[in-house]
Amino acid sequence: RAPVLDELIAAQLAQGCRPAGARERAWAALERVDARPCAELWSHELDAGDAMCISIARALVREPSLLLVDEPTTNVNLRSRDRIVSLLHSLAQEGVAILASVGGGTGLFGADRALSISEGALHGHAAPELAEVMELPAAPGLVTLPRSS
């Protein structure tokens, strides 16, 4: 285990990045998610909001075109929720596609659009002019279980 900054750097070094570039990208990612003060903290010292921002920073060092986040606003206070939603929205405005799962309605606060998947079907206005929605084939060997009543 290591402080957050070291974790961000080590993950990049493991992918073959040069140390100077890894350090620069780590600091840039922390700056982007407004978490520079967390650089020297250990992961277990972070609150839920900071932990989510650091998770996003871990992804940002890889310069993703798609960011997949699982329930980013679960177990965070309102201030952290607004910070995370604002961050995700600004990343989307910069061209990063954001795909987030949410367990409750408040997780959709600030979203430009929301789609749902139920029983293998996509529901909601897909807006293909914003992003193409493609049909995906079922995974080989996928078994669909009947819904319990």
Instruction: Tell me how far apart the alpha carbons of residues 34 and 5 are, in angstroms, rounded to a whole number.
Output: 13
Query: If you write DSSP's letter for every residue of 75-99 in order, what string do you get?
Result: T--HHHHHHHHHHHHHHHHTT-EEE
Helices within the chain (DSSP H only): 4-14, 19-32, 48-60, 78-93
- The residue ranking higher by pLDDT, 105 or 70, is 70
Tell me the two tokens of residue 79.
Answer: 């201030």
- The residue ranking higher by pLDDT, 66 or 142, is 66
| 143: helix, strand or coil | coil
pLDDT recorded at residue 137: 65
Q: For residue 122, what is the enclosing H or E element?
A: strand 121-123
pLDDT at residue 106 is higher than 70: no
Per-residue pLDDT tens for 36-86? 999 999 999 999 999 999 999 999 999 999 999 988 988 999 999 999 999
Mean pLDDT of the chain: 84
Q: Which of 136, 98, 129 is nearest to 114 (CA)?
A: 98
CA distance readout (Å), 27 to 63, 128, 137: 14, 36, 40
CA–CA–CA angle 63, 26, 74 (5° rounding): 75
- Report the range out of 49-53, 72-76, 97-101, 119-123 with the highest average pLDDT: 49-53
pLDDT at residue 104 is higher than 80: no
Instruction: Report the half-sphere exposure of 16 (CA within 13 A, side-chain side).
Output: 0
Instruction: Tell me how far apart the alpha carbons of residues 74 and 78 are, in angstroms, rounded to a whole number.
Output: 10
- The residue ranking higher by pLDDT, 67 or 133, is 67
